[in-house]
Structure 1
Amino acid sequence: MEINVFKFCSGLRVLGHVMILLVAAIVGVSYYAVVFLTYGPQLLRGGFDSFLSFTIVIIFHVLLVLLLWSCIRVVLKDPGSVPENWRAVSGEESLEVGTSLAAAEDGFERRSRGGGYCIHCQNGKPPRCHHCSICQGCVLKMDHHCVWVVNCVGACNYKFFLLFLLYTFLETTMVTIVLLPSFINFFGEAKNHSSAAKSAIIFLAFVLNFAFALSLLCFVVMHASLLSSNTTSVEVHEKKGVIRWKYDLGRKKNFEQVFGTKKSLWLFPLFSEDDLKKIPALRGLEFPTRSDVDA
């Protein structure tokens, strides 16, 4: 009996939905522990404790809104699909294509220099494009398929993924810190049956957030390194043995290839229309390369 590996990969989407429910459950437990059980009741007491509690609750909600906003954007946003009948062009046509790309108002010319061909999609593959066995399609500047967001991470939603990663790390770290005093008192209060349920919820929230904060720290550091060198997770293997990575344009330009040039939008899962028109890498079909490296 033959086993279809691609059907098995597609089944991982179900696991992704479970992961989203798990994230929602952790957010719910954390919210209840921080706002309702720990710092919410102190808001009306007055004095420094009330001010501190108010500050913690405000920061908690700001990070939570940014976290959920980024998560929704990375889940719902198409990571970048290859236009139908896209094909690479030969050297003789490159000048003509370059002119048409500059003249196109929407910037989505179906031909470009470089690329290959996908036997699964039976379509051209732009540079840095890879086929995802789970999504059953090619993804522009594919980084990886993330089961936590039930979506691929590619050219069009990589910024949203990085912000989701960052805000989740900051939120879990904050929850860990603000619940630490209650966690320390857990073993003494647990003997009191009236506060046993409250202590158990705080204990659970602390352990979950602490574990997530530690694991997310590794991913934050890893993706910060990839961002600084303009590399995707898939391309790490392609870079082995390469002296100069052709897409590495310097940290500032590498950052702008993902986050855009408008500084006021860097911390939000948004792009300015101007950046989408002027930075081809945000659309995923063309990427500038170093002048000292052969394309």
Structure 2
Amino acid sequence: MYRSGAVMAWNVFKFCTALRGLGSIMILLVLGVVGVSYYAVVISNYGPGLAAGGLDSLIAFFVLALFHFLLVMLLWSYFSVVFTDPGTVPPNWRPAADEERGDNDPLTASEFPSDTENGRIRFCRKCNQLKPPRCHHCSVCGRCVLKMDHHCVWVVNCVGALNYKNFLLFLFYTFLETSVVTLSLLPHFIQFFSDGEIPGTPGTLATTFLAFVLNLAFALSVMGFLILHISLVCANTTTIEAYEKKSSPKWHYDLGRKRNFEQVFGMDRKFWFIPGYSEEDLRRMPALRGFEYPTKPDLDAQEL
């Protein structure tokens, strides 16, 4: 019996290790899809169309301008998720109320802030330290992550408090970019099933066909993820919390759709569509730093 448990623990560890290695392959896959799409749209089809003159040149210019803008925003958001730490609990972290009291008068167990229904202190046995509200331990990264949503192999990183907005923008711009590529290549894809002669070399035709199929598949799959995360943002919850709160009729972090949106994207509209926050938002909104989150009772008390 003991031997079986030991083998199961070893397999889980190997699985987590495999996920770390898989992430690097996923980055290459993303860049590969971008490369194939760039070759099909810019080099094979619409780039040469700029010299055609008339309406064809205007259409080619519009498609290429939109394609490059969305591509820049997609890559900016993507690598912001990859290289931004999702938020880590500092060593020997304590709640702000406990730090204010000092070592001579620490908080008792019943006074520690908690986001559980039974009021227990949130403590991570693997990290051997207290956990801030909405924090969870990631078995792949081997650490506690602030407001953890999930570990994403596509970005070789956890998605948490400090890079969740970047992740949502990555989904958003990926959906727009893949949709633009799909629609722009649709007329060329339809030609494959026509009786007439198709212009182009076998290599360019194969690239166009592959780019269309890949981008259509990505657009449909990313659309599903985007809809899911929009619903999570509207309810001010993460993927993990959405599963955990199924038994709880009320979610005390739900502040209303407008304030829930601001908890992720900030209040400065100029920064809503770029991966980053204004200094003013970071100063006045502690939730963006991942340690403190307003709750519905707190909001009601402020309005009174």
Fold in common (TM above 0.5): yes
Q: CA deviation at 1:95?
A: 8.0
The aligned counterpart of 1:82 is: 89
RMSD: 2.4
TM-superposition CA deviations, 1:95-147 (whole Å, max 9, x none)? 859xxxxxxxxxxxxx9733511010111100100000000000000000000
Q: CA deviation at 1:200?
A: 1.0
The aligned counterpart of 1:113 is: 113
Q: Which runs of 5+ in 1 are unaligned?
A: 98-110
Are residues 1:228 and 2:234 paired?
yes
Q: Is the 8 A contact 2:255 2:299 kept in 1?
A: no
The aligned counterpart of 1:218 is: 224
Q: Return the letter of the residue paired with 1:215.
A: S
TM-superposition CA deviations, 1:60-111 (whole Å, max 9, x none)? 0000000000011000000000011013488xx59859xxxxxxxxxxxxx9
Farther off after superposition, 250-259 or 235-244:
235-244
Q: CA deviation at 1:292?
A: 8.1
Q: CA deviation at 1:46?
A: 1.6
Q: Is the 8 A contact 1:183 1:203 kept in 2?
A: yes
The aligned counterpart of 2:72 is: 65
Q: Return the letter of the residue paired with 2:23.
A: G
TM-superposition CA deviations, 1:7-32 (whole Å, max 9, x none)? 43132111111111011000000000
The aligned counterpart of 2:107 is: none
TM-score normalised to structure 2 length: 0.86
The aligned counterpart of 1:183 is: 189
Q: Which runs of 5+ in 2 are unaligned?
A: 103-110, 115-120
SS state at 1:239 partner: helix
Farther off after superposition, 235-244 or 274-283:
235-244
The aligned counterpart of 1:9 is: 16
Aligned length: 279
* Alpha-carbon distance in structure 1 between the residues aligned to 2:100 and 2:89: 22
Q: Is the 8 A contact 2:50 2:61 kept in 1?
A: yes
Query: Percent identity of the aligned residues?
Result: 57
Q: Is the 8 A contact 1:189 1:196 kept in 2?
A: no
The aligned counterpart of 1:29 is: 36
SS state at 1:243 partner: coil
The aligned counterpart of 1:269 is: 275
Match of 1:159 among 156, 165, 173: 165
The aligned counterpart of 2:145 is: 139
Q: CA deviation at 1:179?
A: 0.2
Q: Return the letter of the residue paired with 1:208.
A: L
Pick closer, same or farther for the CA change 1:207–1:189 going to 2, 3 Å: farther
Q: Is the 8 A contact 1:10 1:136 kept in 2?
A: no
